[in-house]
Amino acid sequence: MNIYFDNASTTPILPAVIEHMTEVMREDYGNPSSIHKHGRKAKSIIENARKMVAKVINASISEVFFTSSATEANNMVIKNAVQDLGIQRIISSPTEHHCILHTINYLESQKKCYVQYVDVDEEGNPDYEQLEVLLNASQEKTLVSIMHGNNEIGTMTDIYKIGMLCKKYNALFHCDTVQTIGKYPVDVQANNISFLSGSGHKFHGPKGIGFVFISNANIILPYIHGGAQERNMRAGTENVAGISGLSLALEFNSNHMVSNRNKILNIRSVFKKRLETEIEDIRFNGRQHDLFMAHVLSVSFPPGPKAEMLVMNLDIAGISASSGSACSAGIEEDSHVLKAIGHPNERKTIRFSFSPFNTEEEVHYTIDKLKEMSEISALKM
Ligand code: PLP
């Protein structure tokens, strides 16, 4: 068996994207900075890709820059917003991705700014009232960095509400949309977003390529110095095939957003229903109604000796899923996200994450295997 239920971690690349990238690498090898026809062709591929990304997020072309990853995009905007735009305070949440949390911790440790966190409830929803209280409490120039969809538990935030609060209190809004771009509509103008990040490999595009939106009103200084690539913002010869592959994958996802989501919702509900009815004492982490991402299902199993082995046993059965814990000093500990929502550490969490390419048969096989594993384990208690 070869079942891939780890699509929040990365996604299989679309065959059409592989073919397209191969073609670009073979035929369009010119340096985009060269003025001859080979260079011009490569340059036009990049600019078409930029146009596509801009269209999907309702930005202007001059506001989109390609990076090597969303990690880079997030580092770039947060560090440079502090350095170039005079941000004194960052408000974030404890359930952000490490590339946000470690960046803002670093900035705080360097005394470049200070950080405040809004609380999250047991579903991972940020406390919007507290956000308003914090915004209202200080006139300091503030960046709010709150993600759109949580990669571990699937909870989505109300980015319209956050954007409007930022507008009201004159704060900048940075949104990590890595898990939602191509899956849910994201409109930077309607949501008053100043900065946004995305990553090709999360929507069936290539790895090692991401993008950042920087609104024209908040343009930061060049981030990597060197040549004039990416309009001086990020020097270095562009990853032409990667950029083009990212845009083709994004186009595919945007054109099939609703049908893909419906397929995934169906997979998720079959999975969830069988788990609920056939394995005892199952719990689901994160929000399970309206604002949740269809592709993420975080499942919490009751404690027991075999529960610890579930991810490994699934792997042996040919099913790839992700553990919700990290090993620290030899002890399995809940991830920072699970800790933040008050998840009991003794329960074992597995994140199953889906794509439109998964099938109901894969779900049934997986649940059957989980049942076998739970029957010989202490799960059924
Ligand atoms: N932000 C979120 C929410 C993610 O899920 C990830 C990847 O796991 C990232 C950022 C980092 O993306 P990249 O792999 O492009 O660095």
- 5-16 tens-digit pLDDT: 999 999 999 999
179-205: per-residue pLDDT in tens? 999 999 999 999 999 999 999 999 999
Tell me the CATH number of domain 3-10+257-373, given options 3.90.1150.10, 3.40.50.2300, 3.40.630.40, 3.40.50.150. 3.90.1150.10
Radius of gyration of the chain (CA): 22
pLDDT of residue 381: 41
The pLDDT value recorded for residue 333 is 87
Distance 368 CA to ligand 1 centre (A): 31
Nearest CA to ligand 1 atom 16: 71
Angle at the Cα of 160 (from 156 to 166), degrees rounded to 5?
115
* 379 has pLDDT over 60: no
* Residue 157 CB less than 6 A away from ligand 1: no
For residue 70, how many C-alpha atoms fall within 13 Å in the half-sphere facing its CB? Answer: 28
Question: E strands of the chain, at which residues?
Answer: 3-4, 64-67, 89-92, 114-117, 142-145, 172-176, 195-199, 210-214, 283-285, 296-301, 319-320, 322-323, 325-328, 331-334, 348-353
In DSSP terms, 323 is beta-bridged to 350
Query: Does domain 15-255 sit in CATH 1.25.40.420?
Result: no
Which pLDDT value is given to residue 105?
A: 98
With cut-offs at 50, 70 and 90, classify the pLDDT of residue 327.
Answer: low
Confidence at residue 330, expressed as pLDDT on a 0 to 100 scale? 67
Given a contact cutoff of 8 angstroms between Cβ atoms, the answer to whether 342 and 283 are in contact is no
Query: Region 101-118: what's the mean pLDDT?
Result: 98
The alpha carbon of residue 19 and the mean position of all alpha carbons in its chain are separated, in whole angstroms, by 25
Predicted pLDDT at 341: 98
- Beta strand 322-323 with 348-353: parallel, antiparallel or unpaired? antiparallel
Please give the average per-residue pLDDT across 114-123, as a whole number: 98
pLDDT exceeds 50 at position 378? no
Tell the residue nearest (CA) to atom 7 of ligand 1: 9
- Residue ranges of domains in the chain: 3-10+257-373, 15-255
- On the question of a common fold for 3-10+257-373 and 15-255, the answer reads no
Average pLDDT over residues 252-260: 98
Residue type, 192: N
pLDDT of residue 326: 72
Torsion 79-81-87-92 (CA) sign:
negative
pLDDT value for 236: 98
Q: Is the CB of 176 within 6 Å of ligand 1?
A: yes
Residue 305 is predicted with a pLDDT of: 77
Average pLDDT (289-314) is 92
Integer Cα distance of 212 and 69 in angstroms:
9
Residues designated as active site: 327
Confidence category of residue 281, pLDDT binned at 50, 70, 90: very high
- Report the predicted TM-score, pTM, of the whole model to 2 decimal places: 0.96
CB contact at 8 A, 21 and 244: yes
Q: Which tens digit of pLDDT belongs to each residue from 63-84?
A: 999 999 999 999 999 999 999 9
Question: What separation in Å is there between the alpha carbon of 152 and the centre of ligand 1?
Answer: 11
C-alpha torsion sign, points 85, 89, 93, 97: positive
For the ranges 150-159, 167-176, 303-312, the lowest mean pLDDT is seen at 303-312
Average pLDDT, the chain: 95
CA atoms within 13 A on the CB side of 238: 35
Q: What's the pLDDT score for residue 19?
A: 98
- What is the tens place of the pLDDT at every residue in 121-169? 999 999 999 999 999 999 999 999 999 999 999 999 999 999 999 999 9
Please determine, for residue 22, whether its predicted confidence score (pLDDT) is greater than 60.
yes
Q: Which atom of ligand 1 is nearest to the CA of 200?
A: 15
Are 27 and 43 contacting, i.e. CB atoms less than 8 angstroms apart? Answer: no
Res 329 pLDDT > 70: no
